[in-house]
Amino acid sequence: MYEDDRHGNSDLYLLDKPTGQERQITNDPAYQGRATIWGDSIVWEDFRNSSEDLYAYDVRTDTEKPLVIHPARQRFPSLWGSLVVYEDDRHGDWEIYLTDLTTGQETRVTTHPANQFRPRIWGDWILWVDGRNDPTYGELWGYNRRTHTEQKLADGPIDPLVDYGMSTRLPPLAISGTQVAFERGTMWS
């Protein structure tokens, strides 16, 4: 899965490594990018409606569908199985949401009035960079879906909570099983 601007705008492509076959997933003059893939599911940010929305694609059935269409912005999706988490600013600040690709059910994960950014999901855990105790630099927070508990996992600074539009840095979190990798520090240090 990769983003390419060979036609003058960013579109998404899927490469089948064993066969070398390339498949164009998106073909719209607006930006499509920041894709995440799990199995046969792909989710990405899409600007075709003049705002950051989320779309999904099923590789097996070759079908695309709108996932989250809202006047507010949805961005930085992370996929695990049929679950996708993302940041959303429909309440005036960045919050974390979870949507099930199978059922379409959307759940607001965070409700704190500070910004929560760059979510990642793996198994029972949803992680993000949180600005509730430091609006300039974040801390690592998580929500356990099984126990329904939210907790601070690591002190900051984790990532500058600055929005640079399309040049916003990629998420500084990676999860695998019980291991979490994150970037400590700031881009200024």
Residue 166 has pLDDT above 50, yes or no: no
pLDDT tens figures, 94-106: 999 999 999 999 9
Mean pLDDT over each residue of the chain, to the nearest integer? 87
Residue 189 has pLDDT above 50, yes or no: no
Look up residue 159 and give its amino acid.
Answer: D
Predicted pLDDT of residue 182: 67
What is the CA angle 171-174-180, rounded to 5?
130
- The reply to whether the predicted model has a pTM over 0.85 is yes
Contacts of 189 (CB under 8 A, 6+ apart): none
pLDDT tens figures, 111-145: 999 999 899 999 999 999 898 987 777 888 999 99
pLDDT tens figures, 75-86: 999 999 999 999
Predicted pLDDT of residue 172: 60
Pair of tokens at residue 31: 């930006």
Q: What residues pair up with 43 in beta bridges, in sequence order?
A: 36, 56
CB atoms < 10 A from the CB of 12, how many? 23
d(CA 101, CA 98): 10
